[in-house]
Amino acid sequence: MTSSPVVVAVDVGGTEIKAALVRGPEPTVLRQLRRATPKLAGGTETADAVVAEVAGIVGELSAGEEPAAVGVVVPGIVDDERRIGVFSANLGWRDYPFGEALAARLPGPLAFGHDVRAGGLAEARLGAGRGLDDLVVLPIGTGIAGALIIGGRPHSGGGYAGEIGHLVIADGPECACGQRGCLELIASSSAVARRYAERTGRSVTGAADVAAALREGDADAKLVWGDAVDALARAITQLATLFAPQAVVLGGGLAMAGELLTAPLERRLDGLITIQRRPELRRAALGDRAGCLGAALMAIEAVSFLEGR
């Protein structure tokens, strides 16, 4: 067990829980499953139900054998050190003591953290960021989150770091966060879809439809997409000014557009980056498995730490 511990990794998402039985240290996935995330009326009830579901999943995946450790990551604002789910807009909890609640129901040591930072860790160690020390992993989906990997480790800032979607980029509409002109109101996948639908009156199912329209030369798609690219380039320039990452790893729905996103983004950066170290743009490699793999890495690391290696 010492050289190749078997752990269970669980990534609790807004709609789905992804879990895997994983053998370290590589890690190698032995078995995996997905379940709907339980959602109840109250946030604390939802969190209690998530804990129960996670305990069930761990039992099921480890099939009676005790895993060397369990890694669990959750969304929202997460205080990794105190092991608290500070806030989840989607699942409704506030200051829920996940560490305590999970430890009471799970065998062995627990590694607890944040889904986006765990996903960033996995991209850094196993995916698009392999070999780099300083990078930003930027999943662009319904919102825009970010994992700042510094010296190979996610920076947490008490749970508050990496809120790149709430960088104020331009005059713009009011955001749910209380600021105006946040990046994610212009450049998230859902913002791109919403802004296109508002301009054209046409209903779209997501940013992929806007990308398809753009490929056909649609002028409204061009404008909305251009705004998103410009806002992303400005945010990446701010990151370069402050953090100087070696690379920015683009993930989530919008990054599925590939060259359609990265080519104009590189061109826009040509005009914005001056004295800053220019970050390489890379596509995320691990897709929606990143969070679960990150949870596995955290669990494997907990085992190594406990074994004093």
Enumerate binding residues for a copy of itself (CB under 8 A). 77, 134, 146, 148, 150-151, 153, 155-164, 166-168, 177-179, 234, 237-246, 272, 274-277
Cα 8 from Cα 68, distance rounded (Å): 8
Name which of 160 and 305 has its Cβ closer to a copy of itself.
160
Closest contact distance (angstroms) between CB of 183 and a copy of itself is 10
Closest contact distance (angstroms) between CB of 166 and a copy of itself is 5
Name which of 161 and 208 has its Cβ closer to a copy of itself.
161
- Which one, of 211, 191, 220, 216, lies nearest residue 264 by Cα? 211
Closest contact distance (angstroms) between CB of 47 and a copy of itself is 20
Closest contact distance (angstroms) between CB of 155 and a copy of itself is 6
Read off φ and ψ for residue 137, nearest 5 degrees. Answer: -105, 125
Cα 215 from Cα 229, distance rounded (Å): 15
Cα 116 from Cα 139, distance rounded (Å): 8
Closest contact distance (angstroms) between CB of 164 and a copy of itself is 7
Name which of 56 and 173 has its Cβ closer to a copy of itself.
173
Cα 190 from Cα 309, distance rounded (Å): 44
Name which of 27 and 162 has its Cβ closer to a copy of itself.
162
Name which of 108 and 162 has its Cβ closer to a copy of itself.
162
What's the residue count for the chain? 309
* Exposure b/e, 139-177, CB count within 10 A at least 16 = b: bbbbbbbbbbbeeeebebeebebbbbbbbebeebeebee
